[in-house]
Amino acid sequence: MTSGPDSTAHLLLDWYDRHARDMPWRTSPKARAAGVRPDPYRVWLSEIMLQQTTVAAVKAYFERFVALWPTVEALAAAPEEDVMKAWAGLGYYSRARNLKACADTVARDHGGQFPDILDGLRALPGIGDYTAAAVAAIAFDLPAAVVDGNVERVFTRLFAIETPLPKAKPEIKAQVAAMLPPTRPGDFAQACMDLGATICTPRRPSCILCPLREHCAVIARGLDAERFPVKAAKGEKPVRRGAAYVLERSDGAILLERRPPSGLLGAMTQVPTTDWTSRRDGDTTTAASPDPSIAWRNAGAITHVFTHFELRLTIFHGQAPHTREPGPGRWWSRPHEIAGEALPSVMKKAIACALPEAFAEETK
């Protein structure tokens, strides 16, 4: 291989100019060349949404958010409950709470303008090193090394990095920083991401189509590209158990409550459930139900996989009279309202287990 960082970056940018993916939050290379600047709000919003989530899943959520709240000031002015409802189903709900806190801070302390320096971005709620680098590079063209999962895959293959992840992260970031071009660092970051998403894929990478194939150490050494990045062995996820109670009123309304503001699924909506956590099991009987005197029916069970554990919930279904009061901190959600509640996926599964038609309108 007779390549240097400058020539490799040049090849990648040339490829990106021809093959950049069309994203609702992205300013195309052609538009950028014509002087159109990316909107930092849209860049930041997309990066928060894309954390541990696929592009396909994010597109509809992104478009809904910018339709409801086209600016960071609009998002800051929105009630937190509305933001959580719009986020429901996207997962990793601490991101939504941090999203609102960050919007509040930018609107209140920065006049609605995102800081254009790395340290200023890092100081905002919910923005870590990766997101700060991504916003700095893409929105402000600052020379920041942006390393997500796609970039890790590209660079571990490009340099045949044998160190397992996550230990290899500093080495990968150093290689990305060394290759950063003096101009267009934002396009370079997005080019690396696109290459990993479309060519240098986890399985069956299209090496023959790769613009960097002549510079790739894995190809030069005849190694199996799918072996990279090397990952440390993972232990099995613990299994936690609990119960959830779908109490249905005679008019079809379902009893709901809001979870505590912090912790797992913080501030999201749920049906009453037992006190399971990622570290302990909860009751799996009707003893902890909202009303043990009700004739609860065992409706089955669901399994939901979180990042650090697997949850298995026994689902009970009960019928309540129309006159029943919901009780403190709870409310009745009628059939036409349930789809608009801030229900995470695990709670939608629980309700659907007891009432299969509850979310029929969403799937039409």
Q: Which residues are catalytic?
A: 47
Distance, CA of 296 to CA of 294 (rounded, Å): 6
For residue 196, give both structure tokens: 């990993």
Enter the tokens of residue 204.
């069956």
Which of 2, 4, 1 lies closest to 179 in space, CA to CA? Answer: 4
Burial class (CB in 10 A: 0-12, 13-18, 19+), 147: buried
Check if the beta carbon of residue 210 is closer than 8 Å to that of residue 216.
yes
- Pairing verdict, β 239-249 and 310-320: parallel
Q: Are 267 and 97 in contact (CB under 8 A)?
A: yes
Q: How far is CA 333 from CA 74, 79, 265, in A?
A: 27, 19, 19
DSSP state of 339: G
d(CA 352, CA 364): 15
Q: What is d(CA 59, CA 42) in angstroms, rounded to the nearest whole number?
A: 12
Tokens of 289: 């139900």
Cis bond before residue 143 (omega within 30° of 0)? no
Q: Is 104 exposed, middle or buried (0-12, 13-18, 19+ CB in 10 A)?
A: middle
CB atoms within 10 A of CB 218: 22
DSSP 3-state assignment of 311?
Answer: strand
* Separation between Cα atoms, residue 248 and residue 333, nearest integer Å: 9
Report the 3 state secondary structure along 152-178: HHHHHHHCCCCCCECCCHHHHHHHHHH
Strand pairing class (269-270; 239-249): unpaired
